[in-house]
């Protein structure tokens, strides 16, 4: 059930609706938006409304007859606007009703955390977007989940890599009940490889075994150097011996610092590897 319009909002005891707020500010007369550009969640039991307004670039505020309070800022925002309205035309800020029932309301707010003014704007990286999900219930509580974009898909999918905040609303303000910080899952499943082959006939100058089978690090066993494998996802496969690293052809690479590189004497260098082509050139 989606209810639109300020008149419908006046008939609600609990629920969300799209509307258009006019606060008499100069930019509102130039705002190229429709009649449902803002969003309000009415919570009569708590004596107020949770408002997602363009003038805040949709950072919600709680408004009652006794005052108005912005919800705490979790991810700092900056752009081509003011501190209050960092996205001056809300080009990269969006809010929508996901669920609207008599028991609970779910609101999704997505925004670009920081970008640089100009034409075109700078800093428009996909991993710079933030998703905030608000679940509001009739007991005047707000469960807020904040997820910031990540370069690696596994970090995005990590259920611990998010901020979770619980807020209590009443006629006199907004009160934090609990808050947990984003962190990473420490125990990750490891791909089981094939039986190891060996022993080596000679000791190589460098040796990437790719037997990690998990994570985003590859270890060079002679120098003891670890390197971060770039790209959206590190792909581990079963290899001829142990596990293997699948190179995606675009981002995947392994490297060591120059001061760790072997000294090549006599002008000769031998490279040896097991490899399987993903496609034939």
Query: pLDDT tens track of the chain, all 281 residues?
Result: 344 433 444 567 999 999 999 888 888 878 777 789 999 999 999 999 999 999 999 999 999 999 999 999 999 999 999 999 999 999 999 999 999 999 999 999 999 999 999 989 998 998 999 999 999 999 999 999 999 999 888 889 999 999 999 999 999 999 999 999 999 887 778 999 999 998 888 889 899 999 999 988 999 999 999 999 998 889 999 999 999 999 988 889 999 999 998 888 777 888 899 888 887 77
User: Coil, helix or strand for 104?
Assistant: strand
User: Coil, helix or strand for 59?
Assistant: coil
What pLDDT is stored for residue 10 in this prediction? 53
What pLDDT is stored for residue 179 in this prediction? 97
Cβ neighbours of 236 (radius 10 Å): 20
Whole-number Å distance between alpha carbons of 20 and 33? 9
Cβ neighbours of 2 (radius 10 Å): 13
For residues 89-117, b (16+ Cβ closer than 10 Å) or e, as one string? bbebbebebeebeeeebbbebbbbbbbee
For residues 185-214, b (16+ Cβ closer than 10 Å) or e, as one string? eeeeeebebeeeeeeeeeeeeeebbbbbbe
Question: How far is CA 9 from its chain centroid?
Answer: 32
Q: For residue 259, what are the contacts with CB-CB under 8 A and spacing of at least 6?
A: none
What are the DSSP E strand ranges found in 91-140? 93-100, 104-112, 129-137
């Amino acid at each position: 059930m989606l209810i639109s319009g300020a008149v419908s909002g006046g008939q609600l005891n609990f629920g969300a609706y799209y509307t258009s707020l006019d606060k008499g500010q100069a930019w509102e007369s130039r705002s190229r938006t429709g009649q449902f550009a803002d969003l309000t969640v009415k919570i009569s039991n708590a004596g107020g409304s949770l408002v997602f307004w363009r003038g805040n670039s949709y950072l919600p505020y709680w408004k009652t007859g006794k005052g108005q309070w912005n919800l705490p800022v979790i991810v700092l925002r900056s752009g081509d606007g003011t501190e209050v309205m960092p996205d001056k035309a809300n080009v990269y800020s969006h809010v929508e009703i996901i669920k609207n029932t008599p028991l609970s309301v779910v609101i999704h707010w997505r925004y670009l955390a920081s970008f640089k003014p100009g034409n075109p704007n700078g800093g428009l990286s996909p991993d710079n977007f933030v998703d905030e999900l608000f679940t509001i219930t009739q007991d005047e509580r707000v469960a807020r989940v904040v997820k910031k974009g990540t370069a690696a898909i596994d970090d995005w999918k990590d259920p611990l890599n998010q901020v979770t905040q619980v807020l209590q609303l009443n006629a006199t303000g907004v009160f934090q009940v609990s808050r947990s910080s984003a962190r990473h899952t420490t125990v990750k499943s490891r791909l089981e490889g094939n039986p190891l082959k060996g022993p080596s006939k000679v000791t190589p100058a460098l040796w990437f075994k790719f037997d990690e089978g998990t994570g985003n690090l590859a270890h060079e066993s002679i120098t003891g150097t670890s390197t971060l494998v770039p790209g959206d996802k590190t792909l581990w496969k079963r290899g001829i011996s142990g596990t293997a690293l699948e190179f995606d052809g675009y981002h995947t690479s392994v490297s060591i610092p120059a001061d760790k590189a072997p000294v090549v004497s006599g002008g000769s260098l031998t490279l040896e590897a097991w490899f399987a082509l993903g496609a034939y050139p």
